[in-house]
Amino acid sequence: MARAIWKGSISFGLVNIPIALYPATRREELKFRLLRKSDLSPVNYKRVAEKDGEEVPWDEIVKGYEYEKGKYVVLKDEDFQRVDLEATQTVDIQDFVEQEEIDPMFFYKPYYLEPQKGGDKAYALLRDALKDTNRVGIAKVVIKTRQYLAGVKPENGVLALELMHFADELADPEKLRVPKKTEVGKREMNMAKSLIDSMSSKWNPEKYKDDYREALMEVIEEKVEAGGKEIDEKPKKAPKPTKVIDLVSVLQKSLEQTDTKKKTTAKSRKKQKQPAKKAA
């Protein structure tokens, strides 16, 4: 587990639970460096002042807020601490709401909460009470220099804090050009539902892997083996969008493919379950 990024307490009513905040996800992105094309020398970034183009060392950099065009006020660490010391150290639960009432669009980044010394009993109480009532604690929390809306909920025996968007941060979907009421044929609808049924399964997160990352690593390994030379292979073309007149035939082919795939998977599982024949 990574180091705690924040320590404070969960507060609801008069109850305060000391906790530490840990990232609940990890990024598996491939990291790339920018290089000079001629000799593959790494390219570094420099912090330069707009006024004279001079490089600025870290110890001369301060945080400033532009209150008017070209006019700034400098904020020091003490200024951030002056805002509200109590608020910056507390996950302040303000309401408990039914989990089903919250649009998943509001959630975007999860963290784990770990109880600190003396907080085990109250932590377990909140975790189990939320699970039994199927509620989420809606809280406000300040991390670094920003306040977030957050949901506190039980996840696999742990209390999780998931950062949320404020309502005014979500873009208005009404501005998108999407079909409002479009007549769909009964045959197409039935086939689409059949395809959904045939592709339905129980949720298993372990089933899904980052195929793009794995494929990109294969390309990198090929180039390393080739000494960095170009590999003569045409990139794959993106699939063409389905035309309205092709919809029925495409749905039919999709159903056939799904059926074949299911039969192949079933045969493969059957073979794996069969005991191996003993040698004579």
Per-residue pLDDT of 54-92, as tens digits, reads 999 999 999 998 988 989 998 888 787 776 655 668 898
C-alpha span between 123 and 219 (Å, rounded) = 48
The CA-based dihedral angle spanning residues 90, 92, 93, 99, taken in that order and rounded to the nearest 10 degrees: -70
Lowest average pLDDT, out of 14-18, 48-52, 217-221, 268-272, goes to 268-272
Q: 195: burial class by Cβ within 10 Å (0-12, 13-18, 19+)?
A: middle
Per-residue pLDDT of 183-201, as tens digits, reads 777 888 888 888 888 888 8
Q: What per-residue confidence (pLDDT) applies to 261?
A: 76
C-alpha span between 162 and 158 (Å, rounded) = 12
Which residue would you say has higher pLDDT here, 216 or 165?
A: 165
pTM of the model: 0.68
pLDDT, mean of residues 254-273: 74
C-alpha span between 228 and 245 (Å, rounded) = 46
C-alpha span between 28 and 25 (Å, rounded) = 10
Structure tokens that stand for 131 in this block: 């699970």
Angle at the Cα of 243 from the Cα atoms of 240 and 247, rounded to 5 degrees: 110
Q: Which CATH architecture has domain 6-26+82-169?
A: Beta Barrel (2.40)
Give the phi and the psi of residue 7 in degrees, each rounded to 5: -130, 140
C-alpha span between 136 and 89 (Å, rounded) = 20
Do 180 and 239 meet the contact criterion of CB atoms below 8 Å apart? no
Do 169 and 129 meet the contact criterion of CB atoms below 8 Å apart? no
Per-residue pLDDT of 125-150, as tens digits, reads 999 999 999 999 999 998 877 889 99
| Percent residues over pLDDT 70 in the chain | 85
> In the chain, what are the domain boundaries?
6-26+82-169
C-alpha span between 147 and 142 (Å, rounded) = 4
Q: What per-residue confidence (pLDDT) applies to 280?
A: 45
Instruction: For residue 204, give the amino acid letter.
Output: N
